[in-house]
Structure 1
Amino acid sequence: MSQRRVVTGRSQEPRQRFAEELRTLRTGSGTSLRQLGERLGWDWSLFGKMEKGETLGSPEVVQALDTHYGTPGLLLALWELAAGDHTQFRERYRRYMALEAKAVSLWHFAVSVLPGLFQTPGYAREVLAAGGLKEKELEQQVKARMGRRELLEGKDAPPFRTILSEAVLRTPLRDVGEWRGQLEYLVGVAERPNVTVQVVLQSAGLHGLLGVDVWYLLLPEGRTVAYTENGYWGQLIEDAGPVVRLQKTYDAVRDLALTPVESRKFILRMLEEKACDPST
């Protein structure tokens, strides 16, 4: 078993340090990229791109590498440092936004927060403020987020499906009026012909998308890319193998969710409960 090495000052450039460690471990084990791909079940080209710093890969891939090399937690820690590099995050997010703008179809899973495409200004403001944005930047970000909603409007709007974890709808805004307005807006958006909203209840149990929001974009040339994010990092995934695996996981979660009709009724019940709540 390889000895776990200390993360040194080289980690001041997290992405480069991560790629360097991947190359060192593989070459030290005498394994080619093709052999690594065969042993771990991923396309070998993904590992080549990770070693060049072109992509970070997903946590699933990095955990598999940690196990393979006998370095429990080392690569995942370096990956987290690289994923937390805000410069790289902005670059990946900008690329994602460019791809989203030209997508011909979108799928989404929300683990804790409504997708930006569905947010009212009040919801967006409270969510962004909770993330630490100051007033000037906060208002700029709210305005930008409202601009994104235009993607789902008009006759040429792409099909969009979202699966909302029940937790998303059980986490209200502090302002009761704003929260009611958000739920009403959600019901209205769900009635658009190009939009499908489903809810997966907590009683459905554990599934493969717990802990992370995922976006899937079908692009004009026919390929699909995925973008995963939580409150601290985002990762654009363009390699076919990981995207296909994520899509299969998404399909399994969709099978657990309420139908669109049942989901709409669930949201309407929440609105009724809020209207009858004596505290409001």
Structure 2
Amino acid sequence: MPAEKEKARADERSARQTFVQELARLRAEADWSYRELGAKVGYDFSHLYKMEHDGSLGSAEIVADLDAPYGTTPHLTLLWRLAKVEAFRSKYLSYMRTEAEASVLHQFAVSLVPGLLQTEDYARELIRSAEPLEDDVEEQVAARLARRSLLTGADRADFRAVLDEAVLRRPLRDPVAWRAQLAQLVEMAQWPNVTLQLLPFSAGHHGLSNTDTMLLWLRDGKGVDYTETGYSGNLIESPSGFDRLRIAYDRLRDVALPPPETVASIEQLMEELPCDPPEST
């Protein structure tokens, strides 16, 4: 095969494919069977087989342990991280397409202001803190702000968010920008299709304690759910999975503050913030 075509094929490989191919290449060059490799790294050979043949990425620990006997540290670990990011972004794109078709959205926010409610400064600081080496921050900020079109216009979706108190207790570094974010929450809570409820710490533990989740009802009546962490996302389309999270959300909503008390709590927090520094003359 000409070198140009070989290079083109290599460029088209996904990070996952490259990771899996490297696993196979390194094992073949070492001339180790799965059992021999398993004995060296302390993992069941069947799991190693699945990583090469079923596309299972495995954990960060097992990948680091695989780097060691090959003497390739941190080669496999870096490829694994790229594959994990790629997998997350792929799932996120699927979610974005689903979100665009939703007529009703109910979100529980564990520690961050929901994306649909974020100011530009909040989105920028959040993206930079999560991916400090990214060079397309402004593009990501613009894309996040563009999502708010779901809440405006003739076909605007109905949006409800239950905010854990931690959301309001983790401010931006810039107090002026943080005040602006709180003010935007108060403003958007007045929109006819936006409802905000605060879940105080005093509510105790609940079924979504560590699960940021979005329940979506599509215009055809189908319900789906998206759960997310900073490093992974999962779109749940099965009726049983959706119902389980819907029930947990409903129970959560029952113990959250009513919307008027929520707005009052946010306004109280704004009053507790230091006054803006005087402008220099």
* 1:183 paired residue number: 182
For structure 2, the 5+ residue unaligned runs are: 1-42, 59-79
Residues matched between the structures, number: 212
Q: Distance in 1 between matches of 2:144 and 2:165?
A: 23
Task: State how 1:22-171 maps to structure 2 within 5 Å.
Answer: 85-134=84-133, 136-171=135-170
Amino acid at match of 1:11: M
Report what 2:48 is aligned to: 8
Q: Who wins on radius of gyration, i.e. which is larger?
A: 2
TM-score, normalising length from structure 1? 0.70
Alpha-carbon distance in 2 for matches of 1:163, 1:184: 17
In structure 1, C-alpha distance between the alignment counterparts of 2:137 and 2:241, rounded to whole Å = 34
The answer as to whether partners of 2:51 and 2:57 remain within 8 angstroms in 1 is yes
| Alpha-carbon distance, 1:275 to partner | 4.5
Deviation, structure 1 residue 14: 6.7
The question of whether the paired residues in 2 share the 8 Å contact of 1:102 and 1:219 is answered with: yes
SS class of match (2:197):
strand
Per-residue CA deviations over 1:243-279 (Å, capped at 9, x if unaligned) read 101000000100110000110100010011114599x
Deviation at 1:221, TM superposition (A): 1.4
In structure 1, distance between residues paired with 2:198 and 2:264: 10
Structure 1: 5+ residue runs without aligned partners?
19-80
Paired residue secondary structure (1:109) = strand
**C-alpha contact (below 8 Å) 1:10/1:17 kept by paired residues:** no
Counterpart contact for 1:14–1:85, Cα < 8 Å: no
Distance 2:158 2:167 in 1: 22
Q: Which residue of 1 aligns with 2:217?
A: 218
CA-to-partner distance for each residue in 1:105-160, whole Å, 9 max, x for gaps? 11000000011111111100111111024363111111111111121112321100
Cα distance in structure 2, aligned partners of 1:277 and 1:210: 34
Query: 1:221–1:273: structure 2 CA closer, same or farther, 3 Å change rule?
Result: same
- Rounded to whole Å, the distance in 2 between the matches of 1:85 and 1:232 is 8
- CA shift for structure 1 position 12: 5.1
- 2:56 and 2:166 map into 1 onto residues whose CA distance is 37
Give the aligned partner of residue 57 of structure 1.
none
User: Would the aligned equivalents of 2:88 and 2:231 in 1 still touch at CA under 8 Å?
Assistant: no
- Residue aligned with 2:215, SS: strand
Letter in 2 for 1:205: G
Q: What RMSD over aligned residues (CA atoms) do the two structures have, in Å?
A: 2.3
The answer as to whether partners of 2:176 and 2:276 remain within 8 angstroms in 1 is: no
